[in-house]
Amino acid sequence: MAISGAPAPTAPDVPQAKTAVGRAEAARGVRYLFTPIMLALLGLVLYLWVKSLELDSIEQRTLNSEFISKKLWEHVKLAALSTVLVVSIAVSLGIVLTRPGARRIVPVAMGITNIGQAIPSIGLLVLLGITLGIGFGYAVLALVVYSILPVLRNTMVGLQQVDRSLIEAGRGMGMTKGAVLRQIELPLAVPVILAGIRTALIINVGTATLATFTGAGGFGDLINNGLRLGRDNVMIVGAALTALLALTIDWIASVAEDLLRPKGL
Amino acid sequence: MIRLESITKVFPGQEKPAVDHLSMDIPEGEIIILVGPSGCGKSTTMRLINRLIEPTEGRIVLQGEDVTGVNSDELRRRMGYVIQQIGLFPHQTIADNIATVPRMLGWDKKRTAERVDELLATVGMDPGIYRERYPKELSGGQRQRVGVARAMAADPPILLMDEPFGAIDPITRDRLQNEFLRLQADIKKTIVFVTHDIDEAIKMGDRIAILQEGSRIAQYDTPARILTNPANEFVEQFIGHGASLKGLTLAHVSEVELADWPVAQGELDRRALRDLLVRSDKSAVLVLDEGRRPVKWLTLRDLDSRGSLDEVGLSADRSVVEPNATLHDALDLMITSYTGTVIVTEGDGSYKGVIELDAIRHRVDEIRRAAVERMRKEPGAAPADELVR
């Protein structure tokens, strides 16, 4: 070997790498397809089962496609709007709280958001209902308060786990603080933040069933109706639809996580 | 080029300043090494230059311009910055990483892409292979090269390097150091280089500033003068044992006289080779290929052997140096070389001559005599020369 000789060119082992990637992609394809097929099958089973029942007039009033689509739409609106709000509030707050100047208010902010999650969800909804009022808006507010913690915590953890040397390198090359945040910190925190958002979504889909008690609609109406009127079938359909919706959204979120994860990690 | 005027940094909550009224001039086109024990403030000093740390007191003057108060982000874009952890952005391709500063400076895509390819080639990496790769797909040495390429992207006149080779295995480090020195010979940047390793400082530096606690300069001088004439006990202790062996890293192969050696090229004729060898009183003939590159040694025993000459002999690969290698490297190879000599080649790998032990001894003697001569001329040579004000 010659001293100070040119570096030996590394032979790229392309074919090997390609097959490994190919295999991983195939595995992911199976995973992507398996869940929706299962969910579609479960939905079909539920539909056929309801079809096979002889419904009385009370059951017919709720177990029809018009009523169910209306409740589905209400439920999705509750979960989606609250999640959008949670994301915009918690991610911004998370960014602010991880800036060097904000170290002192971190425990306070975390304490407050912790209270949000520590209160039982039904208690929170009812409390807000009594003190502020009932209806869609207040139900969304309750969901926001209840699910802000996972997103906030994951945003902070995601930003804090970014290697300090990357920030130092970026700053050292003349990137502004904002550019470091946008181009380095946030992209690298995306996987952790997305995991938090996914948790918040699932919490919101589940907790939104309780919104029926403050008159905000959703699948909770089916469950509540079934319960009050002694119609088990209605209750079962409501619960099963909520579960199906939660699983569907979780699947969508998992696909989004894969697509949005930065390459090269 | 860069002038620090009584720079002081006191970190909040600390009484002692991390950098205490440091003044120094950094001349253009040289590698200046800041070296000192842990906690002496050398890294802080470097970060004060590009104002990653804002000085408490003092001025930074860059090419005659006081930059103590200018926009620090823009100031940093005028200086390349390499750190020990390199800090390549893992979610960006190698090309995007290198393009960081050009993007900020608003270069157009074509110019940036051309510059990226040029830089990758400069640091010895094939742009076609590496442009679209991600940092995790590279080895440590390759990442380090990309780090240097990234720092040079917008062709800044100044490079700041904080232990750039610190986290790399010794063999790769040695190679990268040599590559970097060769590169510097072309680009002639002003480089401020921080290390805690005195051997690296001696090898890499045109000038070395040995720093004590509080970034106080113990000695700021050329490596040769620091080795032959340490300013005080602190410097002496910091250099440690074996100053003359270390001195060998300062002298280069190109400075010693090369000796002749029996060589053979082309069609090999046993009898002619035998004659050549016997007449030369050496132990082996050096065989060169059609490009005059050293291939192998053939001894008398090889020449007497029955098999084809293509199959016998000892490879010469392990005893080849280039003219820019240090005598330290040469001596190191010499000790293990089969014939007790080192082959010197040109840049293109073709044979130039050999070095024997006597040549190195002779050169060491010359260096020592020159140092003694200088000391006699400047009695009690002060540690502070014209550069330390």
Region B196-215 average pLDDT:
92
Query: Is the pLDDT higher at B170 or at B149?
Result: B149
Asked if pLDDT for residue A86 goes beyond 80, the answer is yes
Residue B133 Cα, gap to closest chain A Cα (Å): 8
Q: What is the pLDDT of residue B20?
A: 93
User: Which of the pair, A252 or A12, is modelled with greater confidence?
Assistant: A252
Are A207 and A123 within 8 A, CB to CB? no
pLDDT of residue A124: 78
Is the per-residue pLDDT at A105 higher than 80?
Answer: yes
Question: Is A16 in CB contact (< 8 Å) with chain B?
Answer: no
Asked whether B351 and B294 are in contact (CB, 8 A), the reply is: yes
- State how far residue A1 is from chain B, nearest Cα, in angstroms: 5
Contacting residues for B169 by C-beta, under 8 A, at least 6 apart:
B140
Share of chain B above pLDDT 70, in %: 95
Residue of B nearest to A263 (CA): B91
Burial B117-136 (b: 16+ CB within 10 A, else e): bebbebbbbebeebbebbbe
Note whether ipTM > 0.85 here.
no
For chain B, the average pLDDT equals 88
Query: Is A258's Cβ below 8 Å from some Cβ in B?
Result: no
pLDDT tens sequence across B75-120: 999 999 999 899 999 999 999 999 999 999 999 999 999 999 999 9
What's the pLDDT score for residue A20? 60
Mean pLDDT of B357-382: 73
Q: Which residues, 6+ apart, have CB-to-CB distance to B65 below 8 Å?
A: none
Chain A residue numbers with beta carbons less than 8 Å from the beta carbon of B91 are: 187-188, 262-265
Per-residue model confidence (pLDDT) at position B239: 87
Q: Report whether A3 contacts B329 (CB < 8 A).
A: yes
pLDDT of residue A79: 93
Closest Cβ opposite residue B81 in set A3, A12, A173: A173
Least confident of A84-98, A101-115, A137-151: A101-115
Is B345's CB within 8 Å of A2's CB? yes
pLDDT of res. A92: 95
The residue among B175, B320, B326 with the most chain A CBs within 10 A of its CB, best to mutate, is B175
Cross-chain residue pair B87–A163, CB shorter than 8 Å: yes
Q: Taking residues A133-140, what's their average pLDDT?
A: 85
Q: How crowded is residue A14: how many other Cβ atoms within 10 Å of its Cβ?
A: 9
Is the minimum CB–CB distance between A176 and chain B shorter than 8 Å?
Answer: yes
**Token code pair at residue B23:** 């003044």
Region A15-44: what's the mean pLDDT?
Answer: 76
Dump pLDDT digits (tens) for B115-125.
999 999 999 89
* Residue A60: predicted pLDDT: 86
pLDDT tens for each residue of B295-336: 888 888 888 887 787 788 888 888 888 888 888 888 988 888
Which positions 267-326 of B are in contact with A (Cβ < 8 Å)? 317-318, 320-322, 324-325
Cβ distance B46 to B194 under 8 Å?
yes
Reported as type and span, the H/E element at residue B201 is helix B198-204
- Write down the pLDDT at residue A1: 37
What average pLDDT does this structure show over B121-130? 93
Q: Provide the angle, in degrees to the nearest 10, between the axes of the packed helices A65-97 and A220-229.
A: 130
Model confidence at B388, in pLDDT bands (50, 70, 90)?
Answer: very low
Considering only residues 345 to 374 of chain B, which have any Cβ-Cβ distance to chain A shorter than 8 Å? 345, 349
Write the pLDDT tens digit of every residue in A48-58.
Answer: 999 898 888 88
Length of chain A equals 265
Mean pLDDT value across residues B343-359: 88
* Percent with pLDDT over 90 in chain B: 49
**The pLDDT of residue B130:** 95
pLDDT of residue A19: 58
Option in A1, A184, A262 nearest B317 (CB): A1
List B2's β-bridge partners, or say none: B26, B62
Indicate the range of A15-24, B31-40, B65-74, B345-354 predicted with least confidence: A15-24
* Position B7 pLDDT exceeds 50: yes
Residue B384: its pLDDT value, please?
Answer: 41
Give yes or no for B100 touching A (CB within 8 A). yes
How many whole angstroms separate alpha carbon A131 and alpha carbon A215? 15
Bin A7: left if φ > 0, else alpha if -120 < ψ < 50, else beta. Answer: beta
Measured between CB atoms, which of A1, A165, A264 is closest to B92?
Answer: A264
> Is A65 a residue whose pLDDT tops 60?
yes
Q: What is the pLDDT of residue A9?
A: 43
> Chain A to chain B, count of Cβ pairs less than 8 Å apart?
112
pLDDT digits (tens, 9 = 90+) for B208-257: 999 999 999 999 999 988 888 888 999 988 888 777 777 888 888 888 88
Please give the Cα distance from A125 to A213 (Å, whole number).
Answer: 8
Per the CB < 8 Å rule, is B86 touching A169? yes
Within 10 angstroms of residue A191's Cβ, the number of other Cβ atoms is 16
pLDDT at residue B95, rounded to an integer: 96
Determine contact: A175 vs chain B, CB below 8 A.
yes
CB of B129 within 8 Å of a chain A CB? The answer is yes
How much is the average pLDDT of B193-208? Answer: 92
Listed in sequence order, the residues at least 6 apart from B12 whose beta carbon sits closer than 8 Å to its beta carbon are none
Distance in angstroms (rounded) separating the CA atoms of residues B262 and B282: 8
pLDDT given at position B42: 93
Query: Span A104-130, mean pLDDT?
Result: 81
Instruction: Give the separation between CA B354 and CA B256, rounded to whole angstroms.
Output: 10
CA B342, B347, B348, B354: dihedral to nearest 10 degrees? -20
The answer to whether the CB atoms of A264 and B320 lie below 8 A apart is: no
* Across A209-213, B155-159, B383-387, least confident range: B383-387
List the beta strands (DSSP E) in chain B.
2-9, 19-26, 31-35, 57-62, 65-66, 79-83, 158-162, 190-195, 207-212, 216-221, 263-265, 284-288, 294-299, 314-315, 320-321, 342-345, 351-355
Q: Is the pLDDT score of B30 beyond 60?
A: yes
C-alpha distance from B364 to closest chain A C-alpha (Å): 21
Tell the burial category of A9 from Cβ atoms under 10 Å away from its Cβ (0-12, 13-18, 19+).
Answer: exposed
* Mean pLDDT rounded to a whole number for chain A: 86
The confidence score (pLDDT) of residue A100 equals 86
- Reported as a single tens digit per residue, the pLDDT across B261-271 is 899 887 778 88
- With beta carbons less than 8 A apart as the criterion, state whether B49 and B4 touch: yes
pLDDT of the residue at B310: 79
